[in-house]
A and B are shown apart, each in its own frame.
Chain A
């Protein structure tokens, strides 16, 4: 490596100089040795002996003490002006060089007269408080932001299209958790965004207040059917809700790229950059986190081996980067342990191809878009429900593979839901505080004083009855501690 070569060169050449400078110098220098040179030689030898005895390099220190005019030569020397230093070093840079120099003084003075840069030992300047200054750190971050913004302008997508995100959702325990995650991902997207939230069971205040916090342009519509309890039915209803949203895109003639963000999925930021490359209809790889619900009752060796690699759904390409087929989800290893109802504690599986792995140009949905390709079916002409967006195209080979031809996983699919009968406070705010307060039997903080002040008891009491499994974790934690 270049750096190591440089380092080595500087490491070794100087050692070479001290080793070989002796005989070669005497050959190249004048053969006449003045008494001054002999004196310095003797003094140098004496200092070497003393150093051997003492254990540290004695000679240089003596010279500094004897000949320095200002005490600026120590390791942690405070800030000094160059003029002072130059004056100081003029005198003893001659004397403190380690070699046998005899007639150096006039020569060095000649060179030093014109330049302010001196050869020899210099102090290491350290300021009194050598730590970062917070204002400067902020300024540096602003600079970095500006540089990155410029980079995006130059090398990023030139004409960024609006991203139209379609999310089907419904009010349930984990809705706040999932929707907040998606919302924060969408808030980070650097492009214009329209978020269409379709809610099963009608528009609810919960959802509205959640998405209202985002500051994004949202279209919140209700769908007049309640979300059923089985995964199968739920998937069907979600497909219907998504087509409903596509109709909204058509009515409002929204222009941009339509993507499907299910509320429990995880999106990477590169996904939003990558989908800008789509022309009409694109697909990318989705990682399936299907083993999320812990099947701790069945710790099967075989199962662990098979599910150790994350399954990926998406386009498959041949060697010339053309679409050759599809990777779909293999349900065989999970046979018998597939969740049927939403709160089953077994693995939830995706369908063959998930909606979230596809993006399409919104112009495909417009009624009379002039340059629409002929392979797109009209949404109104759909016979029944479609399981995946591939049902919208007559010929699946026109789909464009995105994300380095499907090699990059840009989205992770996950389904986690709480029990059907789980209760949660509206908007996750407990107001007014609960009436029944019971002091906890075991405090999770063993160092805390045994008597809690009166106004803290309600806070402690509230944590108990809310969710059942939190007590489990608390006791497990204290178990670990004791």
Chain B
């Protein structure tokens, strides 16, 4: 009897201890809520052990030499392709044995051909990609085995693998024919758009984590700005009459709310941009020439509720993060009523959104820190890839079967690079 009493006592003590630990974890500085998207509570999943990635060894003209020519590629918003390569090289999911790999990664930096102003020119990118695929298909048998269905590529440019910055041109080109079966990891996402393939993984644009860290202000600074936005409303250089840029949505925001004291909007760029975002309740994230922008990342990091004005946009990691519960979506046609929409949101909903934004795993998932940390955007990409496993039987082609058309596409793309 005595022993049983001691055992019972021990069990009670242990359970109390465990409960205390849980309470301690929850009782951190701020109450937050768990984030679970359509795929479940997957933000904190660990991809290690769930998939294996083989990294092709391409000649350095595809990656290192391009980076050496222009170091600015490491800091612009398309830098994810470079950092992903570096992450995969030293990650535990990397395997040196291609026979056991689930996914194959081709490190080709297509967005690193920069103008003097720092903008990537996409004109050579299709040729570069084609040449890289030709290389891997002739030196390794894995491409031909599946015609790329178990390969993934990072294409962070404006319209993804359509490789053009102008939307009409991008639609006209469509996704590069050779990438028809591969998984694309891109920043662009818009439903029913040519440049978003079924099964693509949307990632956030690269935003420098250290820079944002240095501009943090104390959390008890009261949020006194209602709506905040800094950026262009009219792209005077390229679209002076307005109506093209942002489909007229940004111009509509300006014309309707320029004298509204609740809306702190202007085209100036202050040095306190990051600090001001931390003092605002809502941050506008309207589309520009493309629907995505680093503003979303900044809003999430600084705890400002993003107001997304971009019809049919697909936001990063849309299956892992329930964006409808975190941000406010406003149709472009409803922009004139933006003030009514925002003021009619009940305060409990706003507080809940702020709690979700305060969740550290949410902030971590939007960042590309160096060195990589658990739960960051690199890991979310791997989680997304792991969720697509196991590969369907149809992925593996019978020997001699060919699906891709190697001569499709504009004539200029077929030239060697």
Contacts and interface: CB of A to CB of B under 8 A. Distances in A.
Do A and B share a complex? yes
Interface of A: 1-18, 21, 24-25, 27-31, 57, 60, 73, 75-76, 79, 81-82, 97, 99, 101, 104, 107-108, 111, 114-117, 119-127, 130-133, 136-137, 139-140, 142-144, 146-148, 150-152, 154-156
Interface of B: 29-31, 76-77, 115, 117-119, 121, 123, 165-169, 171-172, 190-194, 207, 218-220, 222-224, 226, 230-232, 235-239, 241-245, 247-248, 251-252, 255-257, 259-262, 267, 269, 271, 273, 281, 288-289, 293-294, 298, 311-312, 332-333, 335-337, 339-340, 342-345, 347, 350-351, 354, 410-413
A64 to B, nearest CB: 10
Contacts of B207: 2
29 contacts: A10-B232, A10-B235, A11-B237, A11-B238, A14-B235, A14-B239, A28-B411, A79-B336, A97-B168, A121-B244, A122-B244, A124-B252, A126-B256, A127-B256, A130-B255, A130-B256, A130-B257, A132-B262, A133-B339, A136-B339, A140-B262, A140-B339, A144-B223, A146-B350, A147-B223, A147-B350, A151-B219, A152-B220, A154-B30
A119 B281 contact: no
Contact of A12 (B171, B237, B336): B237
Contacts of B169: 21, 25
B204 to A, nearest CB: 13
A137 B168 CA distance: 40
A147 B119 contact: no
A79 B255 CA distance: 13
Nearest to A79: B336
Q: Is the interface of A mostly helix, strand, loop or mixed?
A: helix
A29 B410 contact: yes
| The 9 nearest A-B residue pairs measured at CB | A14-B238, A115-B192, A155-B220, A127-B336, A28-B412, A122-B248, A139-B343, A146-B347, A114-B192
A119 B167 contact: yes
Given A5-B118, A28-B413, A130 B336 contact: yes
A8 B252 contact: no
A143 B337 contact: no
B135 to A, nearest CB: 23
Contacts of B289: 10, 13-14
Q: Is the interface of B mostly helix, strand, loop or mixed?
A: loop
Nearest to B222: A148
A16 B119 CA distance: 10
Contacts of A21: 166, 169
A17 B118 contact: no
B226 A144 contact: yes
Contacts of A121: 243-244, 248
Contact of B231 (A3, A143, A144): A3
Given A125-B336, A139-B343, A147 B238 contact: no
Contacts of B412: 24, 27-28
Given A28-B411, A31-B411, A123-B243, 20 more contacts: A6-B293, A10-B232, A10-B289, A11-B236, A21-B166, A25-B169, A107-B171, A111-B194, A117-B193, A122-B247, A125-B336, A127-B336, A127-B337, A130-B336, A143-B347, A146-B351, A147-B350, A152-B220, A152-B222, A154-B30
B336 A143 contact: no
Contacts of B294: 2, 6
B293 to A, nearest CB: 7
B172 A8 contact: no
Contact of B351 (A57, A76, A147, A156): A147
Contacts of B232: 7, 10-11
A107 to B, nearest CB: 6
Contacts of B194: 111
Contacts of A142: 347
Contacts of B262: 132, 136-137, 140
Contact of A28 (B235, B255, B410): B410
Nearest to B233: A124
Given A4-B269, A13-B119, A119 B168 contact: yes
A143 B298 contact: no
Contacts of B243: 73, 121-124
Contacts of A14: 166, 235, 237-239, 289
